[in-house]
């Protein structure tokens, strides 16, 4: 009996191989695209997470700017030494333009004349420059970026004063008896009282962008850094810390109250009785924004607007960032393979002093 054998012909086999190849190529392409999309989404998510952290570090400090315990009037503070209140230096003489305050160690003066005790400048900075006398870490400050400095009292009061540390003696019942000291010597009066007379550390922080990041060191990857006032001033290994690598730019503008609430270009009627061009009773509303080092004399800073530019740590193959970023009076077109995220935040100063 003849038995006919059946199977695939050569043509059928070739057709099957062709169809299988197409399916495999399609599956590989879909996998490759999915993997590429995942990498992009992961990079963007990391940028968003990092920039949220950066804002969470800067924003609370800015909100506390000008908070000096029981007072938000820096004009009332006097620098004393040896516990004597008979001789002192007023807050108006603790500014950078005045002579160095006697009794302050070189560490406290390292970043500039009276920099640490310039309480009247609750927020200040420099535009497109570092602007401090003390050295910047991380290979130096990145050119074209801003610096932001914030001053306020520590949140927690202390039970004793400590020498070698800038501290504030604040009184709830005697608003004009507010003192700054660095030697740990308190005056005999007013005596410390938990609810009415307190000692608090003076907090001074400067945020800036360094050219390189550290831990691990990445040359060419900029980072946000923070100088913090510690014992002896801006000195020592713990005084200058890295906040976040990959921060490529920090731009700062200050919102000032010009008294022009109807936006007609002039102080509203009845708000400038002495005719000096400054509102007599500002309402704490930002009517104009200026660069960090361009605040007109006598005007009240009531808000801080910051821009943070985050960039990915590595180039993405096949990607070119040709977008033009317009912010803070700048126009930047990177034209490189890094992904970027630009965010802006306007922060109201809760302790803006009333002039």
Structural domain includes residue 118: yes
- pLDDT tens digits along 154-174: 999 999 999 889 999 999 988
Model confidence at 1, pLDDT cuts 50, 70, 90, reads low
Structural domain includes residue 140: yes
Query: At residue 2, does pLDDT exceed 70?
Result: no
Query: At residue 6, does pLDDT exceed 70?
Result: no
Burial class (CB in 10 A: 0-12, 13-18, 19+), 182: buried
Structural domain includes residue 2: no
What is residue 342's predicted lDDT score, i.e. its pLDDT? 97
Report how many domains make up the chain.
1
Query: At residue 50, does pLDDT exceed 60?
Result: yes
Q: How many other CB atoms sit within 10 Å of the CB of residue 304?
A: 26
Please answer whether residues 62 and 347 qualify as being in contact, where contact means their C-beta atoms are separated by less than 8 angstroms: yes
Structural domain includes residue 250: yes
Structural domain includes residue 187: yes
Structural domain includes residue 17: no
Please answer whether residues 86 and 209 qualify as being in contact, where contact means their C-beta atoms are separated by less than 8 angstroms: no
Structural domain includes residue 25: no
Structural domain includes residue 20: no
- pLDDT tens digits along 85-117: 999 999 999 999 999 998 888 889 999 999 999
Q: What are the angstrom distances between the C-alpha of 258 and each of 119, 193, 262, 271?
A: 22, 40, 11, 10
Q: What CA–CA distance (Å, rounded) separates 89 from 78?
A: 5
What is residue 11's predicted lDDT score, i.e. its pLDDT? 80
**Rounded to two decimals, what is the model's pTM?**
0.88
Provide, rounded to the nearest whole percent, the portion of the chain with pLDDT above 90: 61
- pLDDT tens digits along 31-41: 776 767 767 77
Q: What CA–CA distance (Å, rounded) separates 262 from 114?
A: 38
- pLDDT tens digits along 214-270: 988 899 999 999 999 887 777 666 689 999 999 999 999 999 998 888 888 888 888
Model confidence at 3, pLDDT cuts 50, 70, 90, reads low
Instruction: Choose between 31 and 144: higher pLDDT.
Output: 144
Domain coverage including residue 292: 40-348
Model confidence at 355, pLDDT cuts 50, 70, 90, reads very low
End-to-end CA distance of the chain: 116
């Amino acid at each position: 009996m003849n038995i006919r054998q059946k199977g695939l012909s050569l043509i059928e086999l070739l057709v099957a191989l062709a169809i299988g190849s197409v399916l495999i190529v399609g599956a590989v392409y879909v996998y490759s695209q999915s993997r590429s999309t995942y990498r992009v989404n992961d990079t963007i998510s990391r940028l968003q997470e990092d920039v949220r952290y950066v804002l969470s570090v800067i924003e609370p400090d800015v909100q506390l700017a000008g908070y000096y315990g029981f007072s938000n009037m820096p004009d009332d503070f006097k620098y004393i030494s040896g516990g004597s209140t008979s001789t002192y230096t007023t807050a108006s003489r603790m500014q950078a333009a005045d002579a160095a305050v006697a009794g302050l160690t070189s560490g406290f003066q390292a970043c500039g004349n009276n920099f640490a005790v310039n309480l009247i400048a609750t927020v200040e900075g420099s535009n497109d420059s570092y602007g401090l006398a003390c050295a910047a870490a991380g290979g130096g400050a990145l050119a074209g970026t801003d610096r932001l400095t914030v001053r306020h009292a520590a949140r927690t009061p202390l039970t004793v004063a400590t020498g070698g540390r800038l501290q504030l003696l604040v009184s709830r019942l005697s608003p004009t008896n507010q003192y700054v000291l660095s030697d740990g010597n308190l005056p005999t009066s007013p005596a410390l009282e938990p609810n009415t007379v307190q000692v608090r550390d003076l907090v001074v922080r400067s945020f800036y962008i360094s050219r390189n990041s550290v831990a691990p060191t990445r040359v060419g990857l900029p980072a946000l850094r923070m100088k913090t006032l510690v014992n002896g001033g801006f000195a020592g290994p713990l005084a200058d810390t890295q906040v976040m690598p990959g921060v490529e730019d920090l731009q700062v503008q200050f919102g000032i109250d010009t008294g022009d609430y109807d936006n007609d270009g002039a102080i509203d009627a009845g708000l400038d009785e002495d005719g000096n061009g400054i509102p007599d009773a500002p309402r704490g509303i930002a009517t104009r924004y200026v660069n960090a080092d361009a605040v007109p004399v006598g005007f009240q800073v009531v808000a801080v607007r910051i821009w943070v530019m985050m960039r990915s740590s590595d180039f993405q193959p096949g990607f070119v960032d040709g977008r033009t970023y317009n912010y803070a009076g700048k126009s930047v077109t990177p034209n490189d393979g890094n992904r970027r995220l630009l965010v802006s935040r306007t922060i109201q100063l809760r302790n803006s002093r009333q002039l």
